[in-house]
């Protein structure tokens, strides 16, 4: 029987005509449920090699595959997938976090600084943590993309740029650490990364002229271990790519707002870095390292050991914050220790990871892209069409739009099919005109006027694409005629790919090999959450958060001004949905 759990508040008042009743002493504390008493600590070994039935980090494994080795739910029986329980989070706005599952306990974060622990068997609430947000806090994108587990703690990054450690059994604060000054525009929306004995986070705020960074903290005390800025100061490596003698580096952007991936063999974490500030590159001449790049950070020291910059002097608002996945692939008869990045700039980048340097292998567009004339075959540096690059007082038309061919929602990879699965948005372009802007701490620091457009003759926008990593070729594409796609991907050993992301509120299951749509189910809102899979008492389940908002909602609002009435209103409000085959 489907169970629906919601937050109910019962207000009770008591009194008497002759006086007020005396306060009653508190009753005994409720006994701790067995699933919490028996909580299994999350060790470094478990994070490195998670059990098949648990989902211990947001993409399950350090390589970022978003792949479950569970195979009970298959192409043959997925039509029998039904909701088992639903839990309303009590929060509106966009829900993007992956539910983490450790031996029967689910941990989920939501907008508005909330973390929830649930019994995965029933959907019953075990505890709820809510951190009050300070008056006047600036959180431009009020979302959370997840929590991290380590030892007996749950690690959560609050929107106002505070890192919090919670006791996994009680939800009580163990420690808190201020990561950055929220009044200066820093805020956090990503999940922490636990690796190499450290808790790492980055910060959003590129639209406010911040100086991006990745910082590491001690998981026991919260004490900062190191901080690596993505915009180098004068004299540091990369500073030569910024104007000599200028102050642009102080407000240069390069925010980090998606959790990195990690290679235990080299102790390197791969993080994506956002666009420069302000948006127009002619106001900060030079390549502007490490904006619009992937950087390889030594987890022990915080040193940047390697990088690949996708868009030197970036001027299109193409944050390249999604980290590449770590997967080895074949090229010219050889195995490449690979990194694969599906970038906002509309290109699919095949790279090589080493003990330091990141080497270019090849790049190809996966959506309409008219900015690059070519890529340097050795370095991957793009030759940019100057007519497609906006500047101060200069208007340019370009594809893809500032939302990119793919935004933050992560791809998935299946070792069975050797394919990656991409939540893409095709046929969207942009007109942008740069303008002078003055930096004011905490104020918007963009310097651009933009207008979205749909490519002539386009019959769709949202897509799911599948690409073979060994051939570098597209295998299949599923298109959405009346929706964009903001759905993170999950691949499973049952030969399936799961994703939401559409304005019809559907949760979809595709045949991973052929792309055939096998199953879909309408949830209470649009799905921008990251799906996961786990076992309970030997049975496989799929879980996802439903809850539309922020960029998906904003894109749709603009599309409705271009094609009025085509894109339906999407109800909002967060809920966790758990499915199983019955």
- Catalytic residue positions? 317
Euclidean distance between CA atoms 495 and 234, whole angstroms: 51
In this structure, the strands spanning 3-5 and 81-88 are parallel
Query: How is 174-199 classified by DSSP, letter by letter?
Result: EEEEE-S-GGGT-B--SPPEEETTEE
Cβ(197)–Cβ(219) below 8 Å: yes
Chain center to CA of 334 = 32
- Residue owning tokens 């701790």: 32
Cβ(442)–Cβ(185) below 8 Å: yes
Cβ(257)–Cβ(408) below 8 Å: yes
Where do runs of H (alpha helix) occur along 404-536? none
Euclidean distance between CA atoms 308 and 222, whole angstroms: 31
Residue 564, token pair as written in the block? 């009025």
CA torsion angle 333 334 337 341 (round to 10): -30
Euclidean distance between CA atoms 346 and 340, whole angstroms: 13
HSE-CB at 409 with a 13 A cutoff on CA atoms is 34
- Cα angle for residues 80, 81, 82 (degrees, 5° grid): 110
């Amino acid at each position: 029987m489907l169970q629906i759990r919601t937050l109910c508040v019962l207000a009770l008042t008591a009194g008497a005509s002759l006086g007020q009743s005396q306060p009653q002493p508190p009753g005994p504390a409720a006994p701790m449920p067995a699933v919490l008493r028996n909580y299994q600590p999350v060790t470094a070994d478990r994070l490195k090699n998670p059990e098949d039935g648990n989902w211990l980090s947001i993409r399950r494994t350090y390589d970022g595959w978003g792949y479950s080795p569970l195979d009970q739910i298959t192409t043959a029986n997925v039509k029998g997938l039904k909701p088992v329980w639903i839990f309303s989070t009590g929060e509106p706005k966009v829900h993007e976090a992956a539910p983490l599952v450790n031996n029967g306990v689910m941990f989920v974060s939501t907008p508005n600084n909330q973390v929830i622990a649930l019994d995965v068997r029933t959907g019953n609430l075990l505890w709820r943590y809510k951190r009050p947000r300070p008056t006047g806090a600036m959180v431009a994108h009020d979302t959370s993309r997840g929590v991290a587990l380590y030892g007996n703690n749950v690690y959560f990054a609050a929107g106002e740029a505070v890192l919090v450690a919670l006791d996994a059994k009680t939800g009580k604060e163990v420690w808190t650490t201020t990561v950055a000054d929220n009044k200066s525009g820093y805020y956090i929306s990503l999940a922490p990364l636990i690796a190499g004995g450290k808790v790492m986070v980055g910060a959003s705020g590129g639209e406010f002229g911040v100086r991006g960074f990745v910082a590491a903290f001690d998981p026991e005390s919260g004490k900062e271990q190191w901080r690596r800025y993505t915009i180098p100061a004068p004299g540091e490596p990369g500073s030569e790519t910024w104007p000599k003698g200028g102050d642009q580096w102080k407000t240069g952007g390069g925010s980090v707002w998606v959790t990195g991936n990690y290679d235990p063999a080299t102790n390197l974490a791969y993080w994506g870095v956002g666009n420069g500030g302000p948006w127009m590159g002619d106001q900060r001449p030079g390549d502007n390292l490490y904006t619009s790049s992937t950087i390889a950070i030594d987890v022990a020291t915080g040193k940047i050991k390697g990088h690949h910059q996708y868009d030197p002097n970036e001027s299109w608002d193409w944050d390249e914050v999604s980290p590449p996945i770590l997967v080895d692939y074949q090229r010219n008869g050889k195995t490449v220790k690979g990194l694969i990045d599906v970038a906002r700039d509309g290109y699919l980048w095949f790279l090589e990871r080493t003990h330091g340097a990141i080497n270019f292998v090849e790049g190809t567009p996966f959506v309409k892209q008219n900015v690059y004339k070519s890529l340097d075959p050795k370095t991957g540096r793009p030759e940019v069409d100057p007519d497609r690059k906006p500047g101060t007082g200069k208007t340019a038309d370009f594809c893809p739009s500032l939302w990119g061919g793919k935004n933050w929602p992560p791809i998935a990879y299946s070792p069975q099919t050797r394919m990656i699965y991409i939540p893409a948005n095709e046929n969207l372009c942009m007109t942008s005109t740069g303008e002078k802007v003055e930096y004011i701490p905490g104020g918007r620091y963009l310097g651009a006027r933009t207008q979205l457009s749909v490519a002539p003759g386009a019959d769709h926008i949202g897509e799911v694409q599948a690409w073979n990593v060994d051939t570098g070729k597209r295998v299949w594409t599923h298109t959405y005629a009346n929706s964009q796609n903001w759905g993170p991907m999950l691949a499973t050993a049952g030969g399936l790919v799961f994703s939401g992301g559409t304005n019809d509120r559907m949760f979809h299951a595709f045949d991973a090999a052929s792309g055939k749509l096998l199953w879909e189910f309408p949830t209470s809102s649009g799905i921008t959450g990251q799906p996961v899979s786990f076992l309970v008492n030997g049975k496989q389940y799929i879980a996802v958060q439903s809850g539309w908002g922020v960029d998906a909602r904003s894109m749709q609002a603009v599309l409705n001004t271009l094609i009025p009435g085509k894109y339906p209103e999407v109800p909002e409000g967060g809920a966790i949905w758990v499915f199983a085959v019955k």
